Amino acid sequence: MNNIKEENLKRISEYIYEIPVDKNYGMKVKGLIYASDKIIKNVIDDGSLTQIKNAACLPGIVKASIAMPDIHFGYGLPIGGIVATDIENGGVITPGGVGFDINCGVRLIVFDILQKDLKENTELLAKSLFTEIPSGIGEGGNISLDNKELKRVLTNGAHWAIEKGYGFPNNLEKIESNGVLANANPDIVSFRALERGSNQVGTLGSGNHFLELGYIETIFNTDIAEKWQLKKDNVTLLIHSGSRGLGHQICTDFLRIFEQTIKKYNITVPDRQLACSPYNSKESQEYLAALAGAANYAWANREVLGYLAINVILNVLNISSDYARPRLIYDLAHNIVKIEEFFINKNIKKLAVHRKGATRALPANHKDLPQIYKETGQPVIIPGDMGRYSFLLVGSNSATELSFNSACHGAGRVKSRHRAIIDAQNRNIANELKSKGIIAIGRGKKTLREEMPDAYKDVDEVVEVVDSLNIAKKVAKIRPMAVIKG
């Protein structure tokens, strides 16, 4: 299948590109890509635009097949892809629209301590976090669970972590969905998935997952910053992890099932990686129940990771929690499907919103916001690469109309991991970062090469798109000081 070229795109405005409906191809809606000219040129040959076109053929899809500016090639739906299907009018569920790392997500913790308080201890903190926080492919942690207890994690999510003393009760209102999806059914999760998840609660994982100590370098919105208790030079902690081997196995299990159901339901898709089933089918309902369990596992995992990391920081600096005042700003999901209501053709419709490498960006007064963020809108966390910066934004008014209340989830790759390793083979990435005042430690020999800053788009350019489109507005820029990679 030929990749979409620039001449096949229609430029709607400075930051909006359209793939017109091609009924001969099977498209039911247009494709929309929110990107700058530079970003479009970066992705024009990677196949991700064709994946947006493919997703526009899904049964029951509404409005458009959408891509955020961090778009790059993925499994089925590209990273940065958003698809919504009308579940009461033929809409389908597709695991390829969520991906393997179910509820891969990020949380942001802010401290009252300042950048200058960390400077002399940055390297020690990095080494201590690397030692105390398990990371790497397949790496297990110190929390080992039998099947009965593991199923409680899958049912109760972040609540489980807090009940077990690995978290903080006041965090729950600052976690998407209060840290738990109610429709989880751990009894349909395979033995292999449970086996893989038995010792990975409180572990970071590998690849682009990370712990990052930084500080607030710039504040763009002083009013929101004051309401969220953010000040310039406040120390920050970003944690990016997901459902680990358990979520990956659940996706793998259901992809096999869904690939067999296309004929059963007489569904045609251009790419088998978008294999799907009707929302009300047994296959979709079981997948959603298993997905909820994986999502809950991920929220528990990040709650434990936050608890462990905070304790390491307090111990190394020999300060009290009352003095440092660590507080969660928000924890959100990147890879998930949720049933949400939107106006479609002047009618309220229940949609299955698939976000893959995309995050919710709820505007102020949205019904799904906790009371603490009703007035401001939802915090939107967009990490960059480990050598430049990350951003904190707030969901804004155009998100509902443009993107089903969604924003990008990060910078997005411009080089595959394989390409990055080749390009970095004669470089010492750790030393390059150290010369910029950033301590970086990776578990595997290739990790820092795979994740080197120039393997990613400049997140400043990516954020400029969602900010200019009023999808999410900039609140603060965060500069890294120390990064732990699996």
Answer whether 396's CB lies under 8 Å from 464's CB: no
State the amino acid at position 196 in one-letter form.
R
**The model's pTM:** 0.95
Rg of the chain (C-alpha set): 21
% of the chain at pLDDT higher than 90:
88
Q: What would the mean pLDDT of 339-356 be, rounded to a whole number?
A: 96
Q: Which residues are paired to 79 by β-bridges?
A: 72
User: Quick one: tokens of 117?
Assistant: 């308080």
Q: What is the pLDDT of residue 136?
A: 63
Answer whether 356's CB lies under 8 Å from 99's CB: yes
Answer whether 96's CB lies under 8 Å from 446's CB: no
Q: What is the pLDDT of residue 292?
A: 98
Q: What is the pLDDT of residue 229?
A: 97
- List the alpha helices (DSSP H) in 230-320: 244-264, 282-317
Instruction: Give the Cα separation of 75 and 100 in Å (integer).
Output: 9
Residue 137 in this model has a pLDDT that exceeds 70: no
Residue 438's closest CA among 478, 477, 483?
Answer: 483
Instruction: Give the Cα separation of 275 and 215 in Å (integer).
Output: 43
User: Quick one: tokens of 226?
Assistant: 């004051």
Q: List, for residues 320-334, the tens digit of each pLDDT value.
A: 999 999 999 999 999
User: Quick one: tokens of 344?
Assistant: 């479609």
Backbone angles phi, psi at 210, to 5 degrees: -160, 160
Q: List, for residues 386-444, the tens digit of each pLDDT value.
A: 999 999 999 999 999 999 999 999 999 988 889 999 999 889 999 999 999 999 999 87
Handedness of CA 415, 421, 422, 428 (dihedral sign): positive
| Catalytic residue numbers, as ranges | 409
CA angle, 99 then 105 then 107, to 5°? 180
Q: Kindly state the DSSP code that residue 167 receives in the 8-state scheme.
A: S
The Cα-based distances of 308 to 91, 270, 326 in angstroms read 41, 45, 12
Backbone angles phi, psi at 381, to 5 degrees: -105, 120
| Residues with Cβ within 8 Å of residue 422, at least 6 apart in sequence | none
Instruction: Give the Cα separation of 471 and 194 in Å (integer).
Output: 38
- Name the average pLDDT for the chain: 94
Q: Which residues are paired to 236 by β-bridges?
A: 110, 214
User: Quick one: tokens of 250?
Assistant: 């659940």
Q: List, for residues 376-401, the tens digit of each pLDDT value.
A: 999 999 999 999 999 999 999 999 99
Instruction: Give the Cα separation of 476 and 329 in Å (integer).
Output: 12
Q: List, for residues 228-237, the tens digit of each pLDDT value.
A: 999 999 999 9
Determine the length of the chain.
Answer: 486
Instruction: Give the Cα separation of 165 and 75 in Å (integer).
Output: 37
Domain with CATH 3.90.1860.10 in the chain: 105-148+158-182+199-244+296-332+379-485
User: Quick one: tokens of 350?
Assistant: 């229940």
Helices (H) and strands (E) in the chain, counts: 16, 19
Count of beta carbons in the 10 Å neighbourhood of residue 323? 11
CATH topology of domain 105-148+158-182+199-244+296-332+379-485: tRNA-splicing ligase RtcB (3.90.1860)
Q: List, for residues 185-214, the tens digit of each pLDDT value.
A: 999 999 999 999 999 999 998 878 999 999
Q: How confident is the model at residue 139 (pLDDT cuts 50, 70, 90)?
A: low
Q: What is the pLDDT of residue 369?
A: 96
Q: List, for residues 258-271, the tens digit of each pLDDT value.
A: 999 998 999 999 99
